[in-house]
């Protein structure tokens, strides 16, 4: 690791956080010279490398503070401060040596992503993947996706971006030119939960009846919504042969006294008081 020269040190600019009233004057409850929130070299500072500040819903501040090294890399560290600028907590740090996409929501969610076209390089800066996406939100562990490519001569990635979904997660999107051609996307954060009540499956009314030798006439009646079903067995002359009540619609019942039925044609009838179904039963001699 090289060290900054005297000339570079002379070009060091410290970024500071200050607060002003609506009239344009400095707030009386802030230090006269504000708060230091990072530093950058004049030679590498640009708009995309400027500090990022987001006022959160509770009035606190979420800061992304840039830092620049002499090896050509940049780093953003995340810090939370009160409305008066006092430190609250520090979050993650991202080292990068390619284009960075960074988003901070008013709820304090932080999402960032980068893709390095020629893969992983610059081991001096620590954990730098070829592609990396990161999302963090209060009350849940950070979610990340990363890939490494060690071929420094082939373009693997075109670009990457990340967006906040508004439901406690983020979507990482990137283009890949070799292993998976085209545009790729991945959700970072809790999975989508569809909170919808189950739709009941309502079957059509039906009645099935058959004769089982040695047992009698079996019947299964289904009348959706009925609390009970009355079943009656008749012969061809219309005489009542047997009857039974099913307290569980859709349950199979056996007509009592039908084990020794003489051969012939019979009819089963099922009713819930408002609807009626009929089914033919053939008993072979």
What is the C-alpha separation between 203 and 167, in angstroms, rounded? 37
* Contact assessment for residue 108 and residue 80, using Cβ atoms and an 8 Å cutoff: yes
pLDDT band at 265 (very low <50, low <70, confident <90, very high): very high
What is the C-alpha separation between 203 and 242, in angstroms, rounded? 27
The pLDDT value given to residue 107 = 80
The pLDDT value given to residue 223 = 85
The pLDDT value given to residue 248 = 67
pLDDT band at 242 (very low <50, low <70, confident <90, very high): very high
pLDDT band at 203 (very low <50, low <70, confident <90, very high): confident
- Chain length of the chain: 285
The CATH superfamily holding the domain 206-283 is Macroglobulin (MG2) domain (2.60.40.1930)
Average pLDDT, the chain: 77
Residue ranges, comma separated, of all CATH 2.60.40.1930 domains in the chain are: 206-283
**Model confidence at 205: pLDDT above 70:** yes
**Region label for 250, one of left (φ > 0), alpha (ψ between -120 and 50) or beta (otherwise):** left
The pLDDT value given to residue 9 = 40
| Contacts made by residues 57-64, CB under 8 angstroms, sequence distance 24+ | 57/106, 57/107, 59/83, 60/88, 60/108, 61/17, 61/85, 62/104, 62/108, 62/110, 63/17, 63/37, 64/102, 64/104, 64/110
**CA of 213: how far to CAs of 102, 207, 221, in Å?**
77, 20, 20
Question: pTM of the predicted model, to two decimals?
Answer: 0.52
What is the C-alpha separation between 142 and 119, in angstroms, rounded? 24
**pLDDT tens by residue, 145-192:** 988 877 767 888 888 899 998 888 999 999 888 778 888 999 999 887
| Contacts made by residues 182-187, CB under 8 angstroms, sequence distance 24+ | 186/133, 186/145
3-state DSSP call for residue 8?
helix
Nearest to 206 by CA among 234, 242, 231, 240: 231
The pLDDT value given to residue 109 = 86
């Amino acid at each position: 690791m090289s060290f900054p020269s005297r000339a570079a040190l002379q070009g060091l600019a410290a970024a500071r956080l200050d607060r002003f009233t609506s009239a344009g004057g400095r707030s009386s409850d802030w230090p006269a010279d504000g708060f230091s929130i990072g530093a950058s070299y004049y030679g590498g500072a640009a708009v995309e490398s400027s500090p990022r500040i987001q006022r959160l819903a509770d009035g606190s501040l979420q800061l992304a503070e840039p830092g620049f090294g002499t090896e050509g890399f940049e780093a953003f560290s995340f810090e939370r401060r009160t409305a008066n600028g006092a430190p609250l907590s520090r979050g993650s740090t991202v080292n990068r040596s390619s284009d960075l996409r960074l988003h901070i929501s008013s709820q304090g969610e932080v999402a960032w992503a980068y893709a390095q076209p020629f893969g992983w390089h610059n081991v001096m800066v620590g954990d730098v993947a070829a592609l990396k996406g990161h999302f963090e939100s209060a009350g849940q562990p950070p979610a990340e996706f990363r890939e490494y490519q060690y071929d420094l001569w082939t373009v693997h990635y075109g670009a990457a971006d990340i967006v906040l979904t508004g439901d406690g997660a983020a979507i990482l999107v990137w283009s890949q030119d070799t292993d998976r051609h085209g545009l790729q996307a991945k959700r970072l954060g809790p999975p989508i939960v569809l909170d919808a009540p189950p739709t009941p499956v309502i079957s059509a009314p039906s009645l099935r009846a058959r004769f089982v030798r040695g047992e009698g006439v079996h019947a299964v009646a289904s009348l959706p919504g009925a609390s009970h079903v009355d079943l009656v067995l008749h012969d061809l002359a219309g005489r009542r042969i047997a009857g039974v009540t099913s307290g569980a619609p859709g349950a199979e019942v056996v007509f009592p006294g039908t084990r020794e039925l003489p051969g012939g044609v019979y009819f089963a009838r099922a009713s819930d008081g408002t609807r009626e179904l009929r089914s033919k039963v053939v008993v072979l001699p």
